[in-house]
Amino acid sequence: MSIKAIEWLDDRVKILDQTRLPRKEVYLELSDYQSIASAIVELKIRGAPAIGIVGAYAIALSALKIESAQKDEFLAKLRIAIQTIAATRPTASNLFLAIDRMQKVAEAGEDVKQIKAALVNEAVKIHAEAAELTRRLSRHGAELIKDDFTILTHCNAGALATTGYGTALGVIKQAKEQGKNIKVLATETRPLLQGARLTAWELKQANIPFTLITDSMAGYFISRGEVDCVIVGADRIVANGDTANKIGTYTLAVLAKENGIPFYVAAPTTTIDTSLASGDEIPIEQRSPAEVTHIQGVSIAPEGTQARNPAFDVTPHRYITAIITENGIITEPYGEGIKGVV
């Protein structure tokens, strides 16, 4: 069964509510940019490429609703929607790349009617391209996966996060389709359990053998030689190869290096941001402490407990064995490699 995380329905967008998985498959039909912005903030739709796609649809939907026939007035109203979408989640570059593309299309348009049609076309194009990129990068990445490998993955970098095939999970699915005998160790991914809820759900659907572990068990399994490689997705890769991804990724990269196993990042080039020189410059989303003190709404800490909740961390490029993109696999020196694939 192919997973449809996002579907465009001409005057609304349909998303699979990821906060309800795996217990319920609930679809939401959203027809205005404000409700899409809320869905992004609440992680009903999540994952770097998926956020870019729904962000683009949100801008297209807001354009369709603007009544001004005069271009300047139309663009001023559109800018309000764009600012709202841009303020949802700061880390993933895909969102800002999609916004940039939509903005350019809006500004280049002749008249309001033509701009509205062009914005819808562009959003549909961003969606189709994103799906295709994950198929291509998965084919490249599968070359790195050998028969009988046990692969550790973190968070969810599958079809839910990307549409299409997935990035880290796309590589895993492709290796399985090539007939390789593989197993997956999936980290639960606290605080919001994307691994336990979403990766486990996708792997089960794809019939790929997997075992769920808590994040803190990774060192135990890696040090015992039970993991052949780690593969994760990315939210933003900068010019020197430093990579922001789900909190806990950096820990896994250090563990991989210490224990001599490869650490792979799989991401489309839409996740690469060459405007930043190093990972220190990546804005890291800080989410509500309640996501740490509570699990699915149930309090697990004494009342009044202080908590911190950075959603992402940055893995320095020296820990990354290779970055898998749709345009090929790159290794150190990343500065050169990144210029080559973008």
Buried b (16+ CB within 10 A) or exposed e, 43-57: bbbbbbbbbbbbbbb
Q: Which residues contact 121 (CB under 8 A, 6 or more apart)?
A: none
Is 215 near ligand MRU (CB under 6 A)? no
Hey, is 230 helix, strand or coil? strand
Please report which helix (H) or strand (E) contains residue 103, including its range.
helix 93-108
Distance of alpha carbon 120 from alpha carbon 124, whole angstroms? 6
Q: Which is nearer to ligand MRU, 28 or 117 (CB)?
A: 28
Q: Which is nearer to ligand MRU, 30 or 53 (CB)?
A: 53
Hey, is 312 helix, strand or coil? strand
Please report which helix (H) or strand (E) contains residue 60, including its range.
helix 48-65
Is 245 near ligand MRU (CB under 6 A)? yes
Q: Which is nearer to ligand MRU, 162 or 240 (CB)?
A: 162
Q: Which residues contact 66 (CB under 8 A, 6 or more apart)?
A: 74, 77, 78, 112
Q: How far is the CB of 300 from ligand MRU (least distance, A)?
A: 20
Q: Out of 62, 93, 138, 162, which residue is the one contacting ligand MRU (CB under 6 A)?
A: 162
Is 279 near ligand MRU (CB under 6 A)? no
Is 270 near ligand MRU (CB under 6 A)? no
Hey, is 322 helix, strand or coil? strand
Q: How far is the CB of 298 from ligand MRU (least distance, A)?
A: 20
**63, burial (CB in 10 Å: exposed 0-12, middle 13-18, buried 19+):** buried
Number of residues forming the site for ligand MRU (CB under 6 A): 19
Positive or negative: CA dihedral 330, 277, 269, 317? positive
* Secondary structure percentages of the chain, helix, strand, coil, to 5: 45, 15, 35
Q: How far is the CB of 72 from ligand MRU (least distance, A)?
A: 35
Q: Which is nearer to ligand MRU, 59 or 311 (CB)?
A: 311
Q: Give pairs for 115-120: CB < 8 Å, separation 24+.
A: 115/63, 115/71, 115/74, 116/60, 116/63, 116/64, 119/59, 119/60, 119/63, 120/60, 120/63, 120/64
Distance of alpha carbon 255 from alpha carbon 323, whole angstroms? 18
Q: Which residues contact 296 (CB under 8 A, 6 or more apart)?
A: 193
Is 155 near ligand MRU (CB under 6 A)? yes
Is 49 near ligand MRU (CB under 6 A)? yes
Is 10 marked active-site?
no
Site for ligand MRU in 294-333 (CB under 6 A): 311
Please report which helix (H) or strand (E) contains residue 98, including its range.
helix 93-108
Q: Out of 235, 242, 273, 313, which residue is the one contacting ligand MRU (CB under 6 A)?
A: 235
- Segment contacting ligand MRU by CB under 6 A, of 6-14, 156-164, 210-218, 314-322: 156-164
Site for ligand MRU in 114-143 (CB under 6 A): none
Q: Which is nearer to ligand MRU, 63 or 265 (CB)?
A: 265
- Segment contacting ligand MRU by CB under 6 A, of 69-77, 210-218, 231-239, 299-307: 231-239
Catalytic residue among 215, 235, 242, 273: 235
Is 234 near ligand MRU (CB under 6 A)? yes
Q: Out of 21, 161, 229, 322, which residue is the one contacting ligand MRU (CB under 6 A)?
A: 161
Sheet holding 27-30, edge to edge: 6-8, 13-16, 27-30
- Segment contacting ligand MRU by CB under 6 A, of 28-36, 45-53, 79-87, 124-132: 45-53
Residues forming the active site: 235
Q: Which parts of this chain interact with ligand MRU (CB under 6 A)? A: 43, 46-49, 92, 155, 157, 161-162, 167, 194, 232-235, 245-246, 311
